[in-house]
């Protein structure tokens, strides 16, 4: 919340299916997190009998505390790209990673003060089944142009040490200790579940496809795509 309204941060379906009454949006990153389809969904993209999978965030703190996540991090965030590691050599041990080493692309929507209550009610209904609110910093990378209202609000944002503007606001996360958390889960198993799941909000694969395409559009350098999303989408699309 700010004096002028509220920021809504999206890293999953909110990217391609925004909340109502949005004034404007910015794109950027959440640092110190990885994104995984490790949240079971029985209310949106699956059913109680056949739960689907939706996306959540795992914090760097949790990655360091729990060895069970290490294999997934090495398969994607620490993968090799064209024969060269994406991260510097000293960071190849998960314990040496910093918040700057692992980041998730997403968006932040600005809600005008008069619409805050209605949007919060909408999100509290939409973001259920294990999701809880957590305060995070969202590092802004691109902003609207030729929007004086947006410029005034964005100019008031603080700057991080790297010079980027940042937004401090709440985001819904399915933490690793919530009952619907399904990780760590092999990408083969997740893909099979997504391929065969459907719920009140629609086809599970369509959720994955739309998210991957949207994140692809957000990233300025296609060489550094979200390799986990790309691999999962490819696997779930196979016959």
User: Catalytic residues, which ones?
Assistant: 127
Phi/psi of residue 171, each to 5°?
A: -140, 150
DSSP tag of 19: P
CA atoms in the 13 A half-sphere facing the CB of 12: 21
CA angle 60, 63, 68 (to 5 degrees): 170
Tell me how many degrees the CA angle 57-58-62 measures, rounded to the nearest 5. Answer: 160
What are the residues whose beta carbons fall under 8 Å from the beta carbon of 183, sequence distance 6 or more? 36, 38, 58, 69, 72, 176
């Amino acid at each position: 919340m700010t004096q002028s309204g509220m920021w809504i941060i999206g890293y999953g379906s909110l990217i391609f299916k925004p909340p109502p009454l949005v004034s404007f949006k910015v794109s950027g990153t959440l640092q110190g997190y990885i994104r995984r389809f490790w949240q079971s969904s029985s209310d949106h993209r699956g059913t109680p009998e056949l739960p689907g999978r939706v996306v959540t965030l795992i914090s760097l703190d949790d990655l360091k505390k729990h060895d069970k996540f290490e294999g997934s991090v090495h398969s994607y965030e620490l993968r090799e790209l064209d024969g060269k590691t994406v991260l510097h050599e000293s960071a190849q041990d998960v314990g040496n990673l910093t918040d700057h080493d692992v980041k998730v692309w997403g968006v932040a929507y600005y809600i005008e003060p008069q619409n805050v209550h209605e949007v919060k009610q909408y999100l509290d209904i939409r973001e259920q089944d294990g999701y809880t609110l957590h305060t995070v910093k969202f590092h802004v990378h691109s902003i609207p142009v030729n929007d004086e209202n947006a410029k005034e609000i964005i100019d008031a944002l603080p700057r991080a040490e790297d010079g980027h503007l940042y937004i401090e606001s709440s985001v819904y996360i399915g933490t690793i200790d919530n009952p619907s958390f399904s990780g760590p889960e092999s990408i083969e198993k997740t893909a099979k579940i997504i391929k065969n799941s459907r719920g009140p909000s629609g086809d599970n694969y369509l959720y994955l496809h739309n998210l991957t395409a949207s994140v692809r559009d957000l990233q300025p350098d296609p060489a550094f795509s979200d390799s986990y999303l790309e691999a999962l989408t490819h696997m779930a699309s196979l016959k």
